[in-house]
Amino acid sequence: MTKPAAAIDHLVVARGPRTRIRRKHRHDAPADYAWRRDPELARFDGREPIEDSFSEFLARFEDDLRFENPRERMFAIETSDGEHIGNVMYYGATSGGEAAEIGITIGRKEYHSKGYGREATIVFLRHLWETTPFRTIVLHTLDWNERAIRCFAGAGFEETGRIERHGQTLVQMVARREWWLFHDSQGKHHLPNDSRAAGS
């Protein structure tokens, strides 16, 4: 059950016109569990759906909340009125804090192909540039997932190569701090009703 937005407002770390990014909470577990078991969502991530029981999943979920790893962190993606629709995370941060990889899932399928993933990616990158020393953010997406490739290109990532992993071809895309922030200041990553758009 989704909590009222005001009840967890203190967990919000970044906001966009239609989305907000917040720290994870125990009440996210049921939705996360359902999304991790969904075959279609698992296919987009290039993995198999999990087979764990909910109690097993919840135990690991709570451990992750309790013992935060500085090299990785997951956040919830919500609509502006507090509806949990997906997750975004960084992981594999280098020991010097120069680079990390990100991954994003819009679990609520009624929000697919409506720009929520692009907006959440932009809002999350702004948050990372402002709060971490990362200078390079990398992501990988399956080469047949054209929707995701367009989303990430629209959020300021550039394709830098293709790699083979577990029998699948992944497109590697990169965003670099200085260029990304310069383009953002010029309005390249403009979002409708975005108070941070160039000239606002």
What's the one-letter identity of residue 181?
L
pLDDT bracket for residue 196 (50, 70, 90): low
Q: At what angle do helices 116-131 and 146-154 cross, to 10 degrees?
A: 50
| Distances in whole angstroms, Cα of residue 36 to Cα of each of 39, 81, 92 | 8, 24, 20
Nearest to 31 by CA among 69, 82, 99, 66: 82
pLDDT digit string, tens, across residues 57-70: 999 999 999 998 88
Instruction: Give the chain's domains with CATH numbers.
Output: 5-135 (3.40.630.30)
DSSP bridge pairs for 139 = 173
Q: What is the per-residue pLDDT across 135-193, written as a single tens digit (0 to 9) for each?
A: 999 999 999 999 999 999 999 999 999 999 888 999 999 999 999 999 999 988 878 77
- Segment 98-124 mean pLDDT: 96
Contact between residue 105 and residue 89 where contact means Cβ atoms under 8 Å apart: no
How does the average pLDDT of the chain come out, rounded? 91
